[in-house]
Chains A and B, each alone.
Chain A
Amino acid sequence: MQQEKNIKIDIRHVNIFARDVKILKDLNFEVNSNQILGIIGPAGSGKTTFLRSLNRMNELETGWRIDGQILLDGKDIYDSELDVNSLRKRVGIVFALPVALPMSIYENIVYGLRLSGVSDKKRLDEIVEKSLSAAFLWDEVKDRLSLSGLRLSGGQQQRLCLARVLAMEPDVILLDEPCSGLDPISTTWIEDALTELKKKYTIILVTNNTMQAARVADMTAFFLMGELIEIGLTKQIFTAPVKKETSDYITGRFG
């Protein structure tokens, strides 16, 4: 079946270096809009480095360098004229450990909006409800929005972080092992949220839990030692992977 292509992110011959060591090698693939791309691979394979390169977070590290191109909607995100802050609004990220800010649930959500100059109370209220609903958290916290975000459980805090990203209305959501510290129920909440969110966003999910990629990703990419070994429909990767390395990894025979 021919898939209709609607390329959101185009990675073209990307090499990433840290202090002259090539840590990602000639990555070349596309990510389609409104899909979840799962990235799997053992520790040190470059998954997180790749993810962080998508909103230029790697730049914060010294000795870091990239060559090749990463195009978002056809525009090079490493173009020297591009404003990094506006890029990071368009490409939000959720980290492995939830980073709730020491302020109320409400303020956690509107923090970025206030920084970018939104102050209309009615608009902020709307966005808070919309974002928390989309992150499957609204029903649990709607009566206690003034409660500190830190008082929420780990799973709720992670959904709070997701809601904070959604409040900025990004195009792309990056998730770096978002469920690594969560119980199975909270994991289900996040996974359900992702499945809903892909209707509106493009999602890239780095996960050490291969079965999570199997459950939620449309496409799965397998990274190994800085190389993209295989990318394909998740169904195909988990039933009949082409490369032996992929098969060995997903069946747990690796190393």
Chain B
Amino acid sequence: MQEHFNEEIENLKTSLIKMATLVDEQVERVITALETGDAQLCKGIKAKDREIDIYDNLIQTQCENILALFQPVAIDLRFVLSALMTNNQLERCGDIAVNIAQRVKKTNDMQSLIKESHILEMGQQAKLMLKEAIDAFINNDIQMAKKVVDSDEIVDNLNKQIFNFLVEKMKADNALIEPCSHLIVLIRNIERLADHACNIARNIVFYVEAKIIKHQARLNRQTE
């Protein structure tokens, strides 16, 4: 029984790693496309996202089977729950990569504005966070996971800073309203990417330490 259970858990882990690798590659490609303005790199992003969706369904089924057949408890239960949540976050990251790809196509002639606004820096940071969150998941690396959670502030600050910069640009020049609007949507997507990376990292903390650290900052602020 235990052997069968371990096998199911290993299969689930393998599916998650494969899915995470796909998502990581998608994000890598769209961020590179954003940096180089090479929209050609975004070709095939949508088709690849379908593979991610297939993994999403597979992982959900694997989790459902484990819960129904083995009724795991304690650390095993936390693994399955965090797998379900991570699956959800990864699937959303895949969708965001598709969204970013669409924006890259619309903004590839705005390289100077992109460079000037620090969007590339934000993209790099979000990409790094996702990579580290995935690594932390693969290695059960709680320190790395906590580092990812802490890094969210960097992206949030960049988001505010770039948003203000783009608003100022639009105020100064009506002709920039449309391109800046695309870029605002773009940074919103990058910010969500970082949020999902954070949530994946929080799932690892939940799995390893049995602690729920979601919404912690906000809840702490409310009790103060």
Binding site for B on A (CB under 8 A): 210-211, 214, 238-241, 247, 250-253
Contacts and interface: CB of A to CB of B under 8 A. Distances in A.
B71 A251 contact: no
* Most-contacted residue by chain B among A211, A251, A253 (CB, 10 A): A251
Given A239-B77, A252-B5, A211 B71 contact: yes
B74 A250 contact: yes
Contacts, number: 29
Contact of A210 (B1, B73, B75, B210): B73
Interface residues of B, number: 12
B135 interface: no
Interface of B: 1-2, 5, 71-78, 210
Q: Main SS of the interface on chain A?
A: helix
B69 to A, nearest CB: 13
B2 A250 contact: no
B2 A238 contact: no
Nearest to B1: A252
B1 A238 contact: no
B210 A250 contact: no
Given A239-B210, A240-B210, A214 B73 contact: yes
A241 B71 contact: no
B2 A253 contact: yes
B1 A251 contact: no
A24 B22 CA distance: 55
A238 B210 contact: no
B2 A252 contact: yes
A251 B72 contact: yes
A253 B76 CA distance: 11
